[in-house]
Structure 1
Amino acid sequence: MDTPNTAPPQDTADTGAGLTVIQTSPDPEHSTLAARGSTIAMRVRAMGRTRVGALLLLLATVAAIIWANTSPGSYSGFWESRVLIGIEDLRLEFTVHALVNDALMALFFFTVGLEVRREFAIGELTSWSRALVPVVAAAAGLAVPALLYVLITAGTGYSGAWGVVISTDTAFLIGALALIGPRAPGRLRVFLLALAVVDDIGALTIIAFVYTDEFMPAPLIIAALGLLGVYLTRYLRSGRGPVYGVLAVGVWLAFLASGVHPTLAGVAIALLIPVYRPERRDVEHALDLARTFRQSPSSEYARAAANSLRESISINERLQSAYAPYIAYVVLPLFALANAGVRLSTDILVAAWSSPITWGIIAGLVLGKLLGVAGATSLLRVLGVGDVGTGLTTGRLAGGGVLCGIGFTISLFIVNLAITDPDVQNQARVGVLAASVIAFVVAAVVFRISDIRHPAAEAGRILSRPVDSGRDHFWGPPEAPLTLVEYGDFQCGFCLKATGSVEEVHRILGDRLRYVWRHAPLTEYHPNALAAAEAAEAAGRQGQFFEFSRSLFADQEHQLPSDIVHRAEELGLDVERFESDLDTGETASRVRDDLLDAEAMGIIAVPTFFINGRRHTGPYDAQTLIRELERTAPVQR
């Protein structure tokens, strides 16, 4: 928190009225600053891709079931056909099924590893205090389902297949959340994504240590040398792509020879791929090359500008963007086609109905995930441990916990590793598919009930997160009886005009007023707004949040990286510390928290004011704000 400052922002504009957004076409140079907001843009694109990918996964599952039941001979014959790869005596032989599960799925686990690496480096799991709740919820979501499964299947000889119920299918989870999730699911989505990352780590660890049959340590020495090469490749000045490719193949082959499941090679490689937020100097260099190309168009300058822009983004995020469409549209649908072909004959369904394996899987995934995820989160909330986040009601946590019961991809994957009997495999697959359908339907019902109990209109009228003097940026006495909260955007023209109203309100009310600023950058219209908000947060870590904010409002047209650092120098900030703080996950998390609050309250235009905790609609000239502050003032006792 900044030291409370009784000096308000300078009067930089006349008062304005009307909650409207200025929609301008950004200058090409300003658009280039998307490097700073690339992660958010990538996540937005990923949401649309996830919906399509989940639909393809569903269609592939249905196609596999139809194929396996209408022509079982051709289904099994196709996937068991042999594939030879190599030349002369250097040959590898796979079934088509093994090629999908061992080779293509290594790419899937590679992208999972990239996401894990990113979240721990610059994402939601950078701060242990922020990561505590999803970590504990994920751990409980691994343990409780496994315990339920073991209890139900005790004495069957297949209780060791408890790994089938531990994992959540992230692709289906996020796709289902987009289809049936509650109103404004942003914070729930962030929570479930963080949980899914920890869930994946647990599942991958269990696959490595529990479901590896034959272990030969010698090839792992070669794998270790290859992984060392992967790590050192980051220091090459050029040609890194081919080197990464060759080393990745070598590491995969070494894992295959060792007996450790080769898909884990993808995770090991991904964890060594560098990830970082775009650096100011790299972005500035890309801008210079883009200007050069604009002044003197040529293929040479075009390549240089394109390469510079690409290099300003970490290879981790570039690989995620490059591979994600293939994983969503090719790899996972192929995996479903190869593994979801469950025979649904009367005999098989009768056997599944009476099978403790089937019911153990259903209970573990649906009930176990609900009890583990929602139960652990609720317990932490009662104990006051960790930060659950506003808007995550008990109903939403329950819906999210049930939705985690969609274990599809890794559950089917572990079925093949943990169970050898084809008949029992069919019973297990029926359980996985049934649990996924039940989880989807029950979660949809829970979310609808939650939305009915917490109507959108009411949620938008009340300030979702109360003002916290230990966290919020404010000026005025912390115990002031009147509170004015503004959600704004440093590039918004109307927010600029509103500073005049706020200054006048403070001049009249004095120490009776506590003014709070929260971020709601409209990046669709203002490409530099996110960078400006993060820069203000970095300045706030040196106690100059409002001073930096005034400088941003004073010149809204110049908010490129060099302009932002120049402002820090002018204000006498420690520039080295400022740039370091600007690149931390904690700074980005502060802005993201405000954005998620704004989404939960339906804020789509700025400035939006909350007066004494309730949303203000209508003009925001000084006299109107003062009148509403006085009218809604809490009764003093």
Structure 2
Amino acid sequence: MGEPIELSTAPSRPDRPARPGRSRRPRFSGGSSERTAAGLLLLATLVAITWANSPMSATYDEFWSTEIELAVGSFEAHISLRHLVNDGIMTLFFFAIGLEVKREITLGELTDRSRAMVPVIAAVAGLVVPALFFLAVAGTTEQAHAWGAVISTDTAFLVGALAVIGPKFPARLRIFLLTLAVVDDVGALGAIAIFYSDDIQIWPLLLSIAFLAGVFLVRYLPVGRGPAYAVLSIGAWVAMYASGVHPTLAGVAIALMIPVFPPRRRDVERAVELTTAFRQSPSSEYAAAATRSLRASISENERLQTAYSPYVTYIVLPLFALANAGVRLDAETVGAALGSLLFWGIIAGLVVGKFVGITATTAIVRATGLGTLAPGLTLARVAGGAALSGIGFTISLFIVDIAIDDPLAQAEARFGVLVASAVAFLLAWVVFRVSDRLQPPVPVGGTLARPVDPERDHIRGPVDAPLTLVEYGDFECPFCSRATGSIDHVRSVLGDDLRYVWRHLPLTEVHDHAVDAARAAEAAAKQDAFYEMGQLLFANQDRLEVDDLCGYAEQLGLDPERFLEDFNSTEVANRVTDDALDAEVMDLHSTPTFFIGEKRHKGHYDAATLVEALRASREQSS
């Protein structure tokens, strides 16, 4: 078996982590799951409303007001079932938000300042302007303190509604709105922490900070991280509850202490070694080591998001809606709401304030040159998304519960949130339909921007083959390197029926030598050695300095002087730039990205999946 494999699982910390674009994933997995999540939330809301207006309506408040007593020695705590949901279980929801905020700031859309500028500024306006609209209407009432109920958008309903009524080709708008939602979440959480936490006790607060510091330090433990996270997190929640700060914010604070990083090449290679060892010599020891190594190759942030997101989406949020959306809709309640400035303030804030704030600010930022909209994203589409942002369900109801004590005023506010969310949904539908009719959209990223050109492109296989596979890749990306094995297998299966094309997408923000490697491949192409150079680049991704590249040219038997001249030529530089600009027009930002024919391939890129997709494309075209 060769040298023995040491089974140490202490996390490695390479000086420069490999940051492949594939590590940047969407906030939600796909349209069907988004519709399911929004559907469950809507169903729970309808059940709550039906229950509260049924002949058994009295049992609704009785059930959620049921007191739960916790006693440990002389310590006793009393909490209603509704507050257990709102103050306890909802901590998981805020924990999930915190994880997402941390990931987006560290690895996601918010790392690209130029891309993030417009949605970030629009999100700030989407927090401030609705509050101003609310105060303009209800600022003179006793419930003016509830302005926080109009500042936040419900992300689950937002993406679910976008999947149902969104415009054609909504991908760029979806990313814009999700980036906006991250900032929106941060603002709402800050408002809760600053304006809706009363009678703060300093010593319990300091104790909670100490627990949070412990959570941060857990990353350095070689083993036992899971139990340590659990114990310290519970301690942080209890201490924050005792401090007077709303305890759900403990979930956010804990999430921000959890490390997040892209898959690191050394860790991934280690996992592959241990998995290979287990395959060659199956044993419980190798199985345990491989499992630990696989887990260590993915950050705790991503693992926790994967583990907790289904519970938050399918249990916590519907349970919250069931406990808080039960508004009586009898004539007396509706009449009181329609005559209430609180009700109309919420309508004004969520429906008008969100729409005006986000749309107008986006137009101003674009007009002044402070930021630009991504390809395929128009102001009309942003306006539809701004209207949809008026769906302020979860955090709106949450703030209503903590900001308003009067049960009648709470009912008016909850009714306002429900009505505003419905009106925002209808307004967005109208805006999307009108904008699509007046300005038919052009797909961005779904179709190959530049058709394959045998005179220009680097093609493996017959130039007139019936099937085409185009890869946008980066020679410094380890996942592109591994994808070459998939490509070789695909070519062996499909033979002369396939032509394979490589195009450059150097991820310059994460790979320092990606452009030089691409230029080296193009310089080698001048001597008919493009793919041969590519193989050497993939095999030596840690050695891509110019001297190394010249050495690979000599190793291939190329003319070294000609290679260096071509490497530094404007023609080669422009060739790489052209591919990168095509990728930018299509809004590609991860590698490897594949096109089947001229249609973008989404999903896995293992050999079996690519072969199936290629064969399916042939059947569809025949």
Note whether the superposition's TM-score is higher than 0.5: yes
- Is contact 2:23-2:263 (8 Å) kept? no
Per the alignment, residue 385 of structure 1 pairs with 370
Cα 1:556–1:544 shift into 2, 3 Å:
closer
**Distance in 1 separating the partners of 2:48 and 2:243:** 32
Q: How does 1:462-477 map to 2 (within 5 A)?
A: none
Match of 2:459 in 1: 497
CA–CA distance in structure 2, aligned partners of residues 408 and 498 of structure 1: 53
Aligned partner of residue 29 in structure 2, secondary structure: helix
Work out which of the residue numbers 426, 441, 445 in structure 1 matches 2:411: 426
Cα distance in structure 2, aligned partners of 1:533 and 1:110: 38
SS in structure 1 at match of 2:77: strand
Does the 8 A contact of 1:61 with 1:341 survive in 2? Answer: yes
Query: Which one-letter code corresponds to 1:605 in the other structure?
Result: I
1:238 counterpart (208, 211, 223):
223
Q: Is the contact between residue 153 and residue 391 of structure 2 (CA under 8 Å) also seen in structure 1?
A: yes
Q: 1:528 aligns with which of 478, 483, 502?
A: 483
- Partner deviation per Cα, 1:126-157 (whole Å, 9 max, x = no partner): 23333221221011001111111111113222
Q: Are residue 360 (structure 1) and residue 345 (structure 2) matched?
A: yes
Is residue 102 from structure 1 mapped to residue 87 from structure 2 by the alignment? yes
1:51 aligns with 2:55: no
- The Cα of 1:90 is off from its aligned counterpart by 3.7
Change (3 A) 1:452 1:345: same
Select the residue among 370, 381, 391 that pairs with 1:406: 391
Distance 1:307 1:463, change over 3 A: closer
Residues 445-484 of structure 1 aligned to structure 2 (within 5 Å) = 445-456=430-441, 459-460=442-443
- The answer to whether the 8 A contact 2:45-2:322 is kept is yes
Report if aligned partners of 1:528, 1:560 keep a CA contact under 8 Å in 2. no
User: Helix, strand or coil for the counterpart of 2:459?
Assistant: helix
Q: Name 1:511's counterpart in structure 2.
A: none
Supply the AA of the counterpart residue of 2:520: E
The answer to whether the aligner puts 1:297 opposite 2:288 as a matched pair is: no
Matched residue SS, 2:111: coil
In structure 2, distance between residues paired with 1:206 and 1:237: 37
Measure how far apart 1:244 and its partner are.
0.6
Q: Deviations over 1:72-114 (max 9, x none)?
A: 2211111111112343334432111011000111110011011
Tell me: CA distance 1:126–1:548, structure 2 relative to 1, closer, same or farther (3 Å): farther
Whole-angstrom CA distance in 1 between matches of 2:376 and 2:345: 33
Does 2:546 match 1:546? no
The amino acid that maps onto 2:34 is T
Structure 1 unaligned blocks of 5 or more: 1-33, 466-483, 489-493, 502-516, 574-588, 610-637
Q: Deviations over 1:51-83 (max 9, x none)?
A: 211111000000000111112221111111111
The correspondence of residues 146-185 of structure 1 with structure 2, limited to 5 A, is: 146-185=131-170
| Equivalent residues, number | 518
Q: Deviations over 1:483-517 (max 9, x none)?
A: x96378xxxxx97428998xxxxxxxxxxxxxxx9
Match in the other structure for 1:325: 310
Check 1:119–1:294 CA distance in 2 against 1; reply closer, same or farther (3 A cut): same
Tell me what 1:578 maps to. Answer: none
Residues 428 and 164 (structure 1 numbering): CA distance in 2 closer, same or farther, change over 3 Å? same
Give the secondary-structure state (helix, strand or coil) at the position aligned to 2:208.
helix
Cα distance, 1:66–1:605 mapped onto 2, change above 3 Å: same
- SS of residue paired to 2:109: coil
Specify the alignment match of 2:549 in structure 1.
Answer: 571
**Corresponding residue number in structure 1 for 2:607:** none
- Report Cα offsets for 1:206-249 as digits up to 9, x if no partner: 11111112211110110111111011111001110110110000
2:47 to 63, 67, 91: 63
- 8 A contact 1:390–1:464 mirrored in 2: no
Aligned to 2:342, the other structure's residue is in SS state: helix
Same amino acid, percent of matched pairs? 47
In the aligned structure 1, how far is the partner of 2:186 from the partner of 2:220? Answer: 27
Residue 364 of structure 1, CA deviation: 0.7
Q: 2:356 maps to what in 1?
A: 371
Q: How has the CA–CA distance of structure 1 residues 283 and 348 changed in structure 2, closer, same or farther, with 3 Å as cutoff?
A: same
CA deviation string 1:497-551 (max 9, x = no partner): 28998xxxxxxxxxxxxxxx99489xx9998389996666435665443335779
Higher relative CO (Cα under 8 Å, sequence separation at least 6) belongs to: 1
Matched, 1:223 2:211: no
Letter in 1 for 2:531: A
SS in structure 2 of the partner of residue 497 of structure 1: strand
* TM-score, scaled to structure 1: 0.73
Q: Distance in 1 between matches of 2:157 and 2:434?
A: 22
Report if the CA contact (8 A) 2:392-2:417 is conserved.
yes
1:253 aligns with 2:215: no
2:310 and 2:435 mapped to 1: Cα distance? Answer: 33
Checking the alignment, whether the CA contact within 8 Å between 1:495 and 1:607 is kept in structure 2 is no
* Structure 2 CA distance for aligned equivalents of residues 165 and 189 of structure 1: 21
Contact 2:278 2:287 in 1 (8 A): yes
Distance 1:429 1:526, change over 3 A: farther
The two structures have a TM-score, normalised by structure 2, of: 0.75
Deviation at 1:363, TM superposition (A): 1.3
| Counterpart check, 1:73 vs 2:58 | yes
* Cα distance in 1 for residues equivalent to 2:195 and 2:424: 27
Alpha-carbon distance in structure 2 between the residues aligned to 1:233 and 1:328: 27
Matched with 1:605 is: 596
Contact 1:518 1:594 in 2 (8 A): no
Question: After alignment, is 426-435 or 89-98 more displaced?
Answer: 89-98
Unmatched 5+ stretches in structure 2: 1-17, 464-469, 487-501, 552-579, 601-622
